[in-house]
Structure 1
Amino acid sequence: MNYLKIGEMAMLNNVSIQTLRYYDDINLLKPVYVDPETRYRYYELSQSSHLDMILFLQSLDFSLDDINLLLSNPEKSEFINYAITKKQASLKKHEQEIKKKTKMITQFKQAYDCFVTYQNFNGVRIEYFQQRKIHTYTIDSNIYDMNLLDYEKHLRSFKLSLEKQGLGTQYFTQVGSIMKMEDFVNSNFISKELFLFDHDSDTEHLKVLEEGHYAVCYCHRFENELSTIKTLHRYLTNHNYEVIGDYICEVVYEFPYLSKEERNMFIRLQVPIKIKKSEY
């Protein structure tokens, strides 16, 4: 008989002997003959087509159990169609997840680049931002009257609220707070609204931060924000800038130390302004 030894079958199909033995053990690809004395396995070359299909389906992430069912029922077209359609849907979902994660890592890289560029910047600069959308959450206390522990508790409440709405919170580090324009302009530093950027949703309930020019400065700690706000306010007053929207405090980048029980924030303070004609 023109049989192939297991090693020959493995070499001709570029698979390992261990793989063929495993396929035999799970009844996925049985040898045509097993020597009763030596227990050596022997295959026919025509079985290579079975092996080709097994490897093809594995490359599409079909489980070995599913492959076994498919190859055991080649005449059942409705079963094969169901399995293929189900796998198509699974791959489509995976593709969408990959796109989402790629977008998230790009945003994280942009945040890191901002940190690297401006971590030692102590002045005020004018930046232009595209339109941004945010989820908001109202709290009952002024953020600037809180300690860091109180602030953390409100963040947890905000995150739980988003999760109850079925909204993604994977990138919850990019959170912030909002102060109403009139409070900022009048140096009445009160903020009772938290927010989280949303880069994917298109729902109507999201608040919009309009595109335009913003006066921006940075600080590194929650405790330093209030003094930095005052610096920003003085700058705008001294340079006769007109504030045209709410003040925004954004934790643009955060990477906590594993060995320290504290936040490691890099905060971007920003307020929309009307640009003077001389600055165009």
Structure 2
Amino acid sequence: MKEKYTVSELSRLFGISNQTLRYYDKIGLFKPNYVDKENNYRYYDYEQFFCLSMIMQLKRLNFSLESVQRYSSSMDMNSLEKNLIKTKELIHKQIEQLNQLESRNDRILQNLHIAKYAAEYQKCEVVEEPTRFQYAIPINFEIKDLYHYIKVVYESYIRSRYATHMAQHGEIVLQIHKENLQNRDFHVYNSIGFFIESNAEVVKGSREVVCIEQGKFATCVHCGPYGTIHRSYQKLYDFIEKQGWNICGDSLEFAVVSISLTKDPESFITQIQIPVQKGE
């Protein structure tokens, strides 16, 4: 077995760069045990393999170099345990963030799919939707005043206690009350807000954040300007009635393709969902 290993040899053995080893030497984290006085070459010995292996394991666990250095100096097992517990908590948070990122990615992919095959989605159908949460303010307005009330809901949200806890929000959501839907009054909205990433515990006792329960929704998409969307509501209402469903809650209306993606109102795509249940 060799007694001394150069920087390049150790680099190849452990799959790290020469530059990284030199940096560890510079900051005093992992220094060669032997330096040739004649040519200034640095050499590591076999016993140092275990120290480098420990450093690399801790780095893979996202330990900072400062934390690695403190542990390598003290070799305090209790301190290492505390750091590992803290790292585990951070890993769980990162997993949660990645899951949220995946969910947002899936929603955008779904919207792109709807936009690509809009003609198919114009057909009415009943789908199962998961539990969702919505920040909403009750207010009556017509579609011509939409952009004014979008500003209103954002200003309300910024002032609310939820903004710091639930920074991630989704599409603007408009609602028409169940009673108005049953009376075929599709011209006046009764609420505006947006979907938020939250959970039941966070919003407990809230008046602004509501839980939209999992269930069946009659749905279709409207293609074109918002000014004609009442026609799609009428089409969806007729479908619900014909299929023997009953409207059991407020509608949800949100953009798939809106002014954020196109300036042409003829290219707007909006999804309408109405909660339903089978009539007795």
Q: 1:153 aligns with which of 151, 154, 158?
A: 151
Q: Which range moved further: 77-86 or 65-74?
A: 77-86
Q: Compute the displacement of 1:143 (Å).
A: 3.6
- Which of 219, 222, 232 is 1:218 aligned to? 222
Q: Structure 1 stretches of 5 or more lacking a match?
A: none
- Alignment of 1:180 onto 2:183: no
Amino acid paired to 2:212: V
Does the aligned pair in 2 maintain the 1:251–1:265 contact within 8 Å?
no
Aligned pairs for 1:118-267 (under 5 A) are 119-121=118-120, 124-130=123-129, 132-146=131-145, 148-160=146-158, 164=162, 166-173=164-171, 175-188=172-185, 189-197=187-195, 200-203=198-201, 204=204, 205=206, 206-209=210-213, 211-214=215-218, 216-233=220-237, 235=238, 239=242, 243-251=246-254, 253-254=256-257, 265-267=268-270
The CA deviation at 1:69 is 0.8
Q: 1:241-270 CA distances to partner (integer Å, 9 max, x unpaired)?
A: 665234524225247667859997531123
Calculate the TM-score normalised by the size of structure 1: 0.78
- Taking a change above 3 Å as real, the CA distance of residues 137 and 222 of structure 1, as seen in their structure-2 partners, is same
For normalisation by structure 2, the TM-score amounts to 0.78
After superposition, the Cα gap between the structure-2 partners of 1:29 and 1:167, relative to the gap in structure 1 and judged at 3 Å, is closer
Counterpart in the other structure of 2:20? 19
2:109 and 2:78 map into 1 onto residues whose CA distance is 46
How far has the Cα of 1:110 moved from its partner? 3.1
Give 1:172 shift: 1.6
User: What secondary structure is seen at the aligned counterpart in 2 of 1:172?
Assistant: strand
CA distance in 1, matches of 2:160, 2:113: 28
- Relative to structure 1, is the Cα distance of residues 177 and 166 closer, same or farther in structure 2, using a 3 angstrom cutoff? same
Residue 37 of structure 1: how far off its partner (Å)? 4.6
In the alignment, residue 271 of structure 1 is paired with which amino acid? Answer: I
Q: Is the 8 A contact 2:174 2:192 kept in 1?
A: yes
Unaligned runs of 5+ in 2: none
Find the counterpart in structure 1 of residue 98 from structure 2: 98
Cα displacement string for residues 104-162 of structure 1 (whole angstroms, at most 9, x for unaligned residues): 32333333333333x1248551313245333242254404241x531431342354256
2:143 touches 2:188 (CA, 8 Å); kept in 1? yes
CA displacement 1:218-262 (0-9 Å, x = unmatched):
2344344234334545x3598496652345242252476678599
2:6 is equivalent to residue 9 of structure 1: no
- What is the rounded CA distance, in whole Å, between the counterparts of 1:53 and 1:122 in structure 2? 56
Identity of aligned residues (%): 18
Query: Higher mean Cα deviation, 235-244 or 134-143?
Result: 235-244
User: Larger deviation: 246-255 or 179-188?
Assistant: 246-255
Partner of residue 270 from structure 1, selected from 224, 249, 273 = 273
**Cα 1:132–1:21, aligned 2, differ >3 Å: closer, same or farther?**
closer
Aligned amino acid, residue 128 of structure 1:
V
Paired residue secondary structure (2:91):
helix
Q: What secondary structure does 2:85 align onto?
A: helix
CA–CA distance in structure 1, aligned partners of residues 102 and 93 of structure 2: 14
Question: What amino acid is the match of 1:39?
Answer: N
Name the Cα RMSD after superposition.
3.5
**Aligned partner of 1:111: which letter?**
N
